[in-house]
Amino acid sequence: MQAIKPKNDRINRRSFLRVSSVAAGGLFISLYLDLPAIAHETTQEPPPKVYPPDAFVHVRSDGKILITVNRLEFGQGVQTSLPMILADEMDADWSQVVSELAQAAEVYKDPVFGFQMVGGSGSIAHSFTQYRELGAKTRAMLIAAAAERWKVSPDQCRTENSVVYGPAGKSTRYAELAERAARQPVPGKVSLKSPSEFRLIGKKVPRLDSVAKCDGSQKFGLDLDLPGMKIAVVAHPLVFGGRVKSFDDKEARRLDGVKDIFEIPLVNGSGVAVVADRFWTAKQARDLLKIDWDLSGLERVDTSELWTKYKELARTPGNVAVARGDDKAMSRIPVARRIVAEYEFPYLAHTPMEPLNATVRFEGSKAEAWVPSQFQTMDQMTVAQVLGLKPDQVTFHTEFAGGGFGRRAVIDSHVPREAATIAKRLRGTPVKLVWTREDDVRGGYYRPMHAHRVEIGIGADGLPGAWRHVIVGQSILAGTPFAVMMIKNGVDQTTVEGVSDTNYNIPNFHLSAHNPTVNVPVLWWRSVGNTHTAFVMETVIDELATRARMDPIAYRRKLLKPEAKKLLAALDLLDQQSGWRNSLLKGHAAGISCHECFGTAVACAVDVSIENNRPKIHRATVAVNCGLAVNPLTIESQFQGGIGFGVTQLMAGGAITFKDGRVQQRNFDGYTPPYIVDAPVTVDVHIVSSTEAPTGCGEPPVPVISPAVVNALARLTGKRYRSLPLASV
């Protein structure tokens, strides 16, 4: 999702530690970053808050070190990388480190965003210093405890692999010091290691959850099974915002195991909930319902009509996002040196491997929720609001998730909201709500469809001398708490990111956008606006390079701003590692693209041929500049997976379309994901060496693969591809 930024650069930070000794023995340490809510910042100091003490580190008496992760783990490897950071500064024995996902709580809010979440590729970037300080302060307290026991100065002690060493051959394990360390004063400031001192950071460390995921013992939200638990599904209206006029459930109630059927309010409209002992029973019962829907007053979206509207809008200036240079410069460039390009990008579904789910148990004065959530704070607040409780009366467990791609970061929390509504009626009974694959494909919250129109005037040197760009697409953030920060001059910044902040040095640059209102729920899709803006920028730049008869990497180097050092370094590394471009097989072509988003620069080269009228990606070489690489093994996995996910945009069946307000696709039979044959045969990932602060890696790989592939196709076919998905080549 988009890297949401606070309203201003000033963030009021108060950090402190709370330490306590518990009955079972051991050391608990918590680091708190107390931030005002990003939407309600003031210049006044907020009052102190009270947090639970056992937040981040627990040194157990058996030597195990439990590190709590304040994020959702859904494949990105954060449950290993964050503990690595803390353990390195703590000098912990990595073989004794275990980790767990945090419940929803004030202490676990993102230090920058101000609420507990995963998104914007910010997990490591935002918590790097936070977890380093945690580790360093924990280490300092353990040293202080040992020094006190031995009656020596802390300066005479050192640590290694969960052991404190002192003068005269003294040593003691962290586990033996835990209770004494818990009584030590918390240091206000600590010195952090220099990169040359890291033992774990920067090393290829296998993930802590690999074994459990390989042997099937890892449990996800969908696997949750509580005593007496019931399963619920909801019949949603086929047109967004539809309301139940009436329903006949006689046949459905005859099925053995059906417990209840009733109407529930939705975020927009209403639906019918079916509760049963088992999922299949609930689904069969739902299929037997006869529902009369009230669709009066609703927009019936039609994709073809929407494209006509979008293209008309794209030919008119929208709200200004960027206006730089001379607006009349284009008129002075001969028509023969102009390019006009129009692009189309469809609605896209997320379709994570694990279907959406949420489990809630309501006890009247308290509740408990188990949700694979990217937005724990918002989801907890929503469950509490539905049940008439305060957020701290809802124990909110973060469950492992089988993918998300932004789909589990929903501002209106509609899935937990539905689960809480159903659980409220079944007081005392845990209820697991399941959205089937069909529910999700047809249920909305898509990457918005977009139209682009670009007019470029080319200078005598072959570089762009004037650029006019109009983007049309729904706003993701309109009507949300983020609108005040992320909608400027009527332009949703997620619509124009990747163009408005381009690293290319383009004079006389004018960018505007239309954000029409459409009756389709939309949401960020992995890498958000960069999914379409990078495609436009990188295919147009490639076309300009071809027209100028320049090497595509050399052209990009010439056009990039001098300060785009990250991107230039990534291109340099790509050039070094893609020597195969000079020895391609007959019928093959190379394609290049590069893009920077979420603070990370990526350059990509692909070797492509055409088989059965579809692109065959033989090799993808990727160079990534993400600052300090905390765990290169995880980064490699992220980029291999992100490249595969990005291929989704190219698939012939990779579009969500509408007719009479209804989604025409149902499941993977109509909304086609990439198959093994579509994925690159080889993905080589190369990381630019850096000691700068780490930046995001989850989303940056996605935007580069599609433009690289179609740039290669253009060399093979002589055609320029302006619309995704690719119906044929």
- Region 500-521: mean pLDDT is 98
* Strands lying side by side in the sheet with 230-235: 258-265, 270-276, 230-235, 431-434, 357-362, 367-371, 394-398
Q: Decide: 50 and 15 in contact? Cβ < 8 Å.
A: no
- Mark whether 503 and 637 lie in a shared domain: yes
Identify whether 9 is part of a domain.
no
CA dist., res. 529 & res. 550, Å (int): 29
CA 310 to chain centre: 27
Count structural domains, the chain: 3
| Residue 135 shares a structural domain with residue 238 | no
Q: Which residues pair with 339 in a beta bridge?
A: 456
Domain check: are 161 and 282 in the same one? no
Residues 6+ apart with CB under 8 A from 530: 497, 498, 595, 597, 699, 702, 703
pLDDT at 26: 55
What Rg, from alpha-carbon coordinates, does the chain have?
A: 27
Cα separation, 90 vs 263, in Å, equals 53
- Give the number of other Cβ atoms within 10 Å of residue 251's Cβ: 12
Whether residues 43 and 106 fall in one domain: yes
pLDDT above 80 for 653: yes
Same domain, residue pair 389 and 458: no
Question: Does 36 score more than 90 pLDDT?
Answer: no
Helix axes 702-717, 632-646, angle to 10 degrees: 50
Look at residue 52 and tell me whether its pLDDT is greater than 50: no
Does 319 reside within a domain? yes
Residue 337, in any domain of the structure: yes
Q: How confident is the model at residue 727 (pLDDT cuts 50, 70, 90)?
A: confident
Between CA 24 and CA 564 the distance in angstroms is 53
State which of 188, 215, 242 marks the end of a domain: 215
Report which of 208, 218, 211, 216 is spatially closest to residue 65, judged by C-alpha positions. Answer: 208
pLDDT in tens, 597-617: 999 999 999 999 999 999 999
The reported pTM is 0.93
- Do the beta carbons of residue 361 and residue 431 sit within 8 Å? yes
Any domain includes 489:
yes
> Are 80 and 26 members of one domain?
yes
* pLDDT for the residue numbered 262: 98
Do residues 229 and 208 share a domain? no
Cα 280 to chain centroid distance, Å, stands at 31
Percent of the chain with pLDDT over 90: 91
Q: Both 21 and 130 in a single domain? A: yes
Task: Please tell me whether residues 142 and 231 are part of one structural domain.
Answer: no
pLDDT at 44: 53
> In Å, what is the CA distance from 42 to each residue of 35, 329, 523?
11, 44, 29
Neighbours of 50 (CB within 10 A): 8
- Shared-domain flag, residues 574 and 642: yes
Nearest residue to 469 (alpha-carbon basis) of 312, 342, 334? 342
- Residue at 544 is within a domain: yes
Domain end, chosen from 215, 245, 271, is at: 215
Asked whether the predicted pLDDT for residue 365 surpasses 80, the reply is yes
- Are 28 and 53 contacting, i.e. CB atoms less than 8 angstroms apart? yes
| pLDDT tens string 536-556 | 999 999 999 999 999 999 999
Q: Tens digit of pLDDT for each residue in 516-541? A: 999 999 999 999 999 999 999 999 99
**Model confidence band, residue 51 (pLDDT cutoffs 50, 70, 90):** very low
Which residue(s) pair with 723 in the sheet? 344
Q: How far is CA 467 from CA 511, 545, 636, in A?
A: 8, 16, 36
pLDDT of residue 146: 98
**Banded pLDDT at 1 (limits 50, 70, 90):** low
**Would you place residue 640 in the very low, low, confident or very high pLDDT band (cuts 50, 70, 90)?**
very high
Report the first-to-last Cα separation within the chain, whole angstroms. 31
User: Would 575 be classed as within a structural domain?
Assistant: yes
DSSP state for residue 389 in the 8-state scheme: -
Q: What is the extent of the structural domain holding 667? A: 315-347+446-717
Residues 429 and 455 in one domain: no
**CATH code, 374:** 3.30.365.10
Lowest mean pLDDT among 31-35, 590-594, 626-630: 31-35
Q: What is the pLDDT of residues 92-132, one digit of tens each?
A: 999 999 999 999 999 999 999 999 999 999 999 999 999 99
- Backbone angles phi and psi of 270, in degrees to 5: -150, 165
Average pLDDT, the chain: 92
Residue 412 falls inside a structural domain = yes
Question: CA distances (Å), 487 to each of 5, 315, 511, in order?
Answer: 12, 22, 15
Instruction: Give 161-213 pLDDT, tens digit per residue.
Output: 999 999 999 999 999 999 999 889 888 889 999 999 999 999 999 999 999 99
Q: Do residue 560 and residue 531 come from a single domain?
A: yes
Residue recorded with tokens 């920028």: 537
| Listed residues 398, 414, 434: the one ending a domain | 434
- For residue 392, pLDDT over 90 is answered with yes
Pick from 714, 711, 722: nearest CA to 606: 711
Inside any domain, residue 131: yes
Question: What confidence tens digit (pLDDT) does each residue in 228-245 have?
Answer: 999 999 999 999 999 999
Rounded to 10 degrees, the C-alpha dihedral 488/491/493/495 comes to 180
Given a contact cutoff of 8 angstroms between Cβ atoms, the answer to whether 150 and 44 are in contact is: no
